[in-house]
Amino acid sequence: MIPTEAYLILSLALFTIGVVGVLTRRNVIIVLMSIELILNAVNINLVAFSRHFGSVDGQVFAIFIITDAAAEAAIGLGIILAFFRNRETVLADEMDMLKW
């Protein structure tokens, strides 16, 4: 049986990689994908603890997080599409004017 700590360390690794991705990439789509990675790391954490305590509450919460991630990805990508149509760029550094 794999100890719960192993899953926590895996979740930490994915979370850290996601945070580094959000902070260092210029391309907004990759930032969104790194956010999805962070949410997945949290899911692994929740399901590991669900097994730790022997109840399904962690898995139910993980299902809600997946639902939330779907909603957020849809709206985020809609915003990116709308922005791309107007400014022809998807780089976060170039999205710097509040009004033109």
Partner 1 sequence: MILNQILFYFFALLAIGSAILMVTRRNIVHSAVFLISTLLATAGIFLQLQAEFLFVVQIILYVGGIMVLFVFVIMLVNLDVALRQIQFNRQKYVAAVLAVVLTAQVFFALWVVRGDPNLTKSADKMPVRNTEAIGDAIFQHYMLPFEIASVLLLVAMIGAVVMAKRRV
Residue (of 95, 100, 5) closest to 51 by Cα position: 5
User: Distance between CA atoms of 19 and 33, rounded to whole angstroms?
Assistant: 11
The least distance separating partner 1 from the CB of residue 73, rounded to whole angstroms, comes to 5
User: Distance between CA atoms of 45 and 13, rounded to whole angstroms?
Assistant: 11
- CB closer to partner 1, 5 vs 97: 5
- Among 71, 96, 98, 99, indicate the residue that binds partner 1 (CB under 8 A): 71
The least distance separating partner 1 from the CB of residue 100, rounded to whole angstroms, comes to 17
User: Distance between CA atoms of 92 and 80, rounded to whole angstroms?
Assistant: 10
Does residue 95 belong to the site contacting partner 1 (CB under 8 A)? Answer: no
Does residue 42 belong to the site contacting partner 1 (CB under 8 A)? Answer: no
